[in-house]
Every structure is written in structure tokens, then in C-alpha cells.
Amino acid sequence: MDEEPERAKRWEGGYERTCCVSSFPGLLWNMFHPQGGVCVFSHGQVRLGMMRHVYVVIDCSRSMEDQDLKPNRLTSTLKLMEVFVDEYFDQNPISQVGIITTKNKRAEKLTDLAGNPKKHITALKKAVDTVCVGEPSLYNSLNLAIQTLKHMPGHTSREILIILSSLTTCDPANIYELIKTLKSLKVRVSVIGLSAEVRVCTVLTRETGGSYHVILDESHFKELLMLHIKPPPASSSSECSLIRMGFPQHTIASVTDQDAKPSFSMSHLDSSSGPGLSLGGYLCPQCHATYTELPVECKVCGLTLVSAPHLARSFHHLFPLQAFVESPVENLQGDRFCQACQAELKDKSMFSCPSCHSVFCVECDLFIHESLHCCPCCIYCQTVP
């Protein structure tokens, strides 16, 4: 028990990473513009897991009917999960998510690992009606997740996020053995607790290198969920490999084209709304199967199909924007205007970009770092020799 206070301190202080993190050599990278051209950028420090396979385990036991989160814990969790899924695919377009629910000492898959947000959101909306009964089973849900995750290629990051509200878990076997298996499979498990700290979760997250937090209120819950959207640093032992991908062309054919042949979209063959015949779509370069949306894994030949902007969406994780330097407005001589939005600088502090020394107001600084990820004035400085 002597080690308990120390563990509690370390846990309260933030999550610790037991995986080591390697850094890129300190060089300027020459990055080719996918449509021809050269961009020069400075490097990021840390290798990130860009292609992620995340299983989210949602506890559906009796404790989820508690009304400390309005209207009850389950509804609140499912609503936040919808927001999570949207943001997740926005920031990680080539990654996949799957959802597992656990109740009555069993675990079952709500949705399989997929890269399409719509499926998950419909399933989450339907899940609001589930009856919360029984006890959750950590062992069964982790086991279920491992069945699929262990087949995933080594260069992807394998993660499990557990939202646990119950203080108990009912496991058919020794969970510490399972933790050893998780560690050997390099799966990172993180837990968000809705009630209180549970020792087995602390051990689980510490051993696998994940994070463990307990929520204070609903807004804290949202913050904690959003923390898991950023790609985690890749452990040095994760493999790096070249992934074969296809970049399909989008064909838009009209009925008047003589060569236009209608075809079934492969992605809708499984859906109950019936396959739709369409004239255009994305053609897989290997087998010419038609798909209506990207990114998708071709069902016929197994090739991952993406478009260049999908990869571009992840670039801002690899090349993050530097933080701006805060300084008092009085230091500025002459006109006091924000160079991005042209507003007068009324606040006491202003922010300046360390590379181009342009001045921005508080609102623009927030907007630039959260949404834009690029300084509006730096681009002009790059061309000056």
C-alpha cells in the first residue's frame, strides 16, 4: 500500500507514457506537392500513429442509468460519442473506429471497425433505447476487441478506449493475464471513468501505456474524449511500412454519354436500402469496382482507396504550427490592428508569430491554432530568398 499515494500523485498529474518516443533528424524536409511542386517545411519532433484502429467500449450496465449526467449517463455518453466520431474522422481520415457495448457480464459489437462515420452514428442513435442491466465485463470486452485488433497490420496504432461507469467488473478469467497479452500485442488501452478510480483500470492503463481519467462533469467528459482524437505518439517498436493505396479517379457521366454504363456501388451491396445504380463514382484502379465515397477498402480486391486531400488532412499533425508569442499591446508602435481580421487591438495583449513577426488579436490566435493551422502572413516570407 506504500506505493498507492505515489501512484495516485502520478495519475493525478497527467498521463504517463511508458512507450518511448523517437524523433526525426533535425533537417528541413522537402515535401513534394502531390500535384507537382516543392514545399519546404520544418520538421515535427515526434513520430505519430497516423493510421489508427480504435475500439470504443461503452459500459451499458445498471450504473449507466444514474442521472448525475443529464438526462442519464447513457444518453449523455452516446451524444458525446457522436461528436467524437465526427471529429475523429475529421482529424484522422484514414483511420477506423469500432464500437463495443458491455452489459450483463457479456460484451457485444455494436459496429465493426470501419472508416465510414455514418454507420457508427446510426448505430449510436439506435443504441439510446438499450436497457442498462447487469454488470460490465472488462475481460470480455477487451477479448472481443483483441480478436480483431490482433489481425491489424503492425504499422497501424491499435487502441482501445473504455468508458466505464461501474465500479465493478465481472471477468471469467484472470484479467492480469489478459493485460500481459495486450502488452505483447502492443495495444494501448485508455479508460475514462464516470464514477471513481478503479485499481484494475489503473494497472491496465499503466501497463499498456494509455491514460486513465475520471470525469468531474459533462464538459470535462467532453474534453477528455477530445483528447483521444489527436494521434498518439507512436511507440518506437511500432513498425513502419509502405502501405499500398489506390487513388481512384472520380467519373461523372451523364445519361447522354454513349459510353456511360450504370453500375452498382459496391459499398451499398450490404445495406438494406437496396443497391443503387449510379452512372458515376470512384473506380478502383485495380479491379474497377465502383464506390460512392472515399476512403474505403475495396471489397473485391482489398486495396485501400483514398484521395490526396485525405492524406493532406493529417499533415497538420505532422507539421504543427508554432505557438505565438504573447506581448503587451503598448509595445506596438503605430497603428494597432490585427493583421488577419483587420480589427483594432482592444485587448491588453497581442500575439505575434515568431517567424514573420506579424501581429494578431486573441480571437485570431485561437482560430489560427485550432482551425487554420497556418499563419496567414508566413507564406509570403517563405518566398523571400
Partner 1 sequence: MASEDEINLLVIVVDVNPIWWGQQAQRDPQFTLSKCMDAVMVMGNAHMAMARTNKLAVIASHCQGSHFLYPSKSWSGEDGGGNDVSSSGDGKYELLSAANNLIVEEIRNIMSKIEVTGNSTDTLLAGSLAKALCYIHRLTKELEVGQEIKSRILVVKAAEDCALQYMNFMNVIFAAQKQNILIDACVLDSDSGLLQQACDITGGLYMKIPQKVALAQYLLWVFLPDSEQRSQLVLPPPAHVDYRAACFCHRNLIEIGYVCSVCLSIFCNFSPICTTCETAFKIQLPQIVKPKKKKLKQPM
* Piece in contact with partner 1 (CB under 8 A), picked from 43-51, 65-73, 178-186, 207-215: 43-51
For position 95 contacting partner 1 by CB under 8 A, the verdict is: no
In sequence order, the 6+-apart residues with CB closer than 8 A to the CB of 189 are 142, 159, 160, 161, 162, 182, 204, 205, 208, 210
For position 28 contacting partner 1 by CB under 8 A, the verdict is: no
349 — phi, psi (to 5°)?
-125, 155
Site string for partner 1, 217-236 (x = CB under 8 A): -----------------x--
Residue 109 or 313: the one with the smaller Cβ distance to partner 1 is 313
Alpha helices in 13-72 (DSSP H): none
Q: How far is the CB of 106 from partner 1 (least distance, A)?
A: 35
Q: Is the dihedral of CA 334, 340, 343, 348 positive or negative?
A: negative
Q: Binders of partner 1 among 338-367, rule CB under 8 A? A: 338-343, 363-364, 367
Determine contact, residues 164/56, Cβ cutoff 8 Å.
no
Residue 50 or 57: the one with the smaller Cβ distance to partner 1 is 50
Q: Binders of partner 1 among 250-289, rule CB under 8 A? A: 250, 252, 285-286
For position 51 contacting partner 1 by CB under 8 A, the verdict is: yes
Question: Given the DSSP bridges, would you call strands 290-291 and 296-297 parallel, antiparallel or unpaired?
Answer: unpaired
Residue 95 or 208: the one with the smaller Cβ distance to partner 1 is 95
C-alpha span between 316 and 374 (Å, rounded): 9
Q: Binders of partner 1 among 59-88, rule CB under 8 A? A: none
* Piece in contact with partner 1 (CB under 8 A), picked from 58-66, 140-148, 165-173, 311-319: 311-319
For position 377 contacting partner 1 by CB under 8 A, the verdict is: yes
DSSP secondary structure of 41-52: EPPPSB-B--SE
Could you tell me how many residues of this chain bind partner 1 (CB under 8 A)?
75
For position 185 contacting partner 1 by CB under 8 A, the verdict is: no
Q: From the list 313, 329, 332, 369, which residue makes contact with partner 1 (rule: CB under 8 A)?
A: 313
For position 30 contacting partner 1 by CB under 8 A, the verdict is: yes
For position 36 contacting partner 1 by CB under 8 A, the verdict is: yes
Residue 7 or 155: the one with the smaller Cβ distance to partner 1 is 155
Site string for partner 1, 314-343 (x = CB under 8 A): xxx-xx---------------x-xxxxxxx
Residue 92 or 137: the one with the smaller Cβ distance to partner 1 is 92
Residue 299 Cα distances to 92, 251, 267, 332, angstroms: 21, 19, 8, 60
Q: How far is the CB of 186 from partner 1 (least distance, A)?
A: 14
Long-range contacts of 298-304 (CB under 8 A, 24+ apart): 298/246, 298/266, 299/266, 299/267, 299/269, 300/266, 303/244, 303/245, 303/246, 304/94, 304/243, 304/244, 304/245, 304/246
Q: From the list 105, 109, 119, 155, which residue makes contact with partner 1 (rule: CB under 8 A)?
A: 155
* Piece in contact with partner 1 (CB under 8 A), picked from 21-29, 57-65, 114-122, 224-232: 21-29
Question: Given the DSSP bridges, would you call strands 52-59 and 157-164 parallel, antiparallel or unpaired?
Answer: parallel
| Residue 358 identity (one-letter amino acid) | S
214 — phi, psi (to 5°)?
-115, 135
Q: Report residue 64 as a C-alpha cell.
A: 449507466
Q: From the list 244, 255, 258, 261, which residue makes contact with partner 1 (rule: CB under 8 A)?
A: 244
Q: How far is the CB of 78 from partner 1 (least distance, A)?
A: 23
Residue 224: how many other CB atoms lie within 10 Å: 20
